[in-house]
Amino acid sequence: MTRDDRRRRNAELDAAWQGLCDNLSRAAAVITGDPRSEDPVMRAAGYRYLLNLLNAGLEQVVFSADPDYPEVGRLQDNTKRYATESPDCLFGHAVLDPAGTYRLTGTGGRARYIGLTLYDTVSLYEKAQSDGDRPRDFRAAFAAATGSTLGAISNPGGIVLQDNGDFEVVISARPHTGNWLPMPENTKDIITRQYFYDWDAEEPYHLSIERIDVEGTGPVTEPVTVTGQVESVGRFVDGFAGYWAAMYGLRDGERNVLRTQPAVSSSYAGDGGHIAYGGGTFDIAPDEALILEVTPPDCHFWNIHLGDYWGQSLDYTYRQTSLNGHQAVLDGDGVFRAVVAHHDPGVVNWLDTAGNAVTRCVYRWWLAAGADLPTPTVRKVKFADVPGELPASARIDSTERRAVLLRRRAAVLKRYGR
């Protein structure tokens, strides 16, 4: 490399780093430009949100982004909270070369659901930006957010497990015997999902992925590669901060109402049933509560959970901010009734707001028998009136609640190996 080449490479690296800093500054405008950030607590939560995005970006576009030497990185977890991610799911991510052949292996686990989905991009803001103005209709925006999938295989579904529960899936354009996920020519990423129902008993798989069509001596740090990675991290934080702010903003005029979106494409995350999401934004005063009611559909998995104003899932390690179909208790008439409140109402199905006046709510019906899926009703009551509003729902005392929360903490820490 000549002296001029070295100078050029160094200038590119320096410019990329400055670009990263500029992107982080632009991302901060999502926080500082929001009137709610006049409250220092809200501003602090916003900056923590940006740190979550930065952590996720480093994982996604740097440390699990080598298609020749892939590793399954953690796309979202309790240190990478954005887009109101599911507390029941262990997400993984790797970058693929569509000309390659890969083997993904899962060992030592047993999850309620395991799914592998191929994408043409997981940087959804890129598609929104390429289309000019971002969608102004939430349904169109949601369709864009779920429309980047190219194919999926799952269990239950097409993944056949070995007798001990382990599995292997070959990912390639060319057909293979056994578990095979066809890879289209525009594939860029793979996302893995492990959903857990019984947090105490189910174990996460150790997922590993290897490219098996070429051999090499291992990754090498190249200036051009690092330049691209540094630039990508900045775009990730700035792009997703703006994207999700726009997504949430499309629904912010409607409070304390839930909407179920149409079932997503069969290529989204499963190959054995219908998948649909729903959600909304809640706003309740200290002396108020919301009562949610729904008869869950016939499906393999369902859950409901809360996030903060910025879209970070609320702490689910120490608080009951989520419930799934295994944890929830249905009343005698088969109806799920939950209370969203700032204080413990003494009912089993409490969703803790963690002190947030405004919360995002997300629920999902996973691998359902039909595409016509229900929407929970929401009604606001005074917190003091909750006992009379739920005469048949299961109660819980402080000792029992403490035991439930201790089990949650142990299960989450075990899942993430912390």
Among the ranges given (270-274, 339-343, 410-414), the one the predictor scored with the smallest mean pLDDT: 270-274
Query: 182 or 220: which carries more pLDDT confidence?
Result: 182
CB distance 367 to 272 below 8 Å: yes
pLDDT (0 to 100) of residue 334: 95
Give tens-digit pLDDT for 257-307. 999 999 988 788 888 889 999 999 999 999 999 999 999 999 999 999 999
Asked if 234 and 20 count as a contact pair (C-beta separation under 8 A), the reply is: yes
Q: 10 Å Cβ neighbour count for 221?
A: 6
Token code pair at residue 154: 């799952």
Sign of the dihedral through C-alpha 171, 94, 79, 251? negative
Residue 128 has pLDDT above 60, yes or no: no
Beta strands in 222-298 (DSSP E): 259-260, 274-283, 288-294
**Highest mean pLDDT of the ranges 123-127, 161-165, 269-273:** 161-165
Q: Note the pLDDT of residue 223.
A: 92
Indicate if the pLDDT at residue 136 is higher than 70.
no
Query: Is pLDDT above 90 for 142?
Result: no
Beta-strand pair 206-211/336-341: unpaired
User: Which pTM was predicted?
Assistant: 0.93
**Which residues lie across from 336 on neighbouring strands?**
294, 330
Structure-model confidence comparison of residues 91 and 139, the more confident one: 91
pLDDT of residue 130: 44
Which of the residue ranges 148-152, 382-386, 393-397 has the most confident prediction, judged by mean pLDDT?
Answer: 382-386
**Per-residue model confidence as pLDDT tens digits over 343-357:** 999 999 999 999 999
Residue pair 191/410 in contact (Cβ under 8 Å)? The answer is no
Backbone phi and psi for residue 24, each to the nearest 5 degrees, phi listed first:
-65, -40
**Stretch among 101-110, 121-130, 270-279, 389-398 having the lowest mean pLDDT:** 121-130
Instruction: Provide the 8-state DSSP code for 144.
Output: H
Report pLDDT for 57.
94
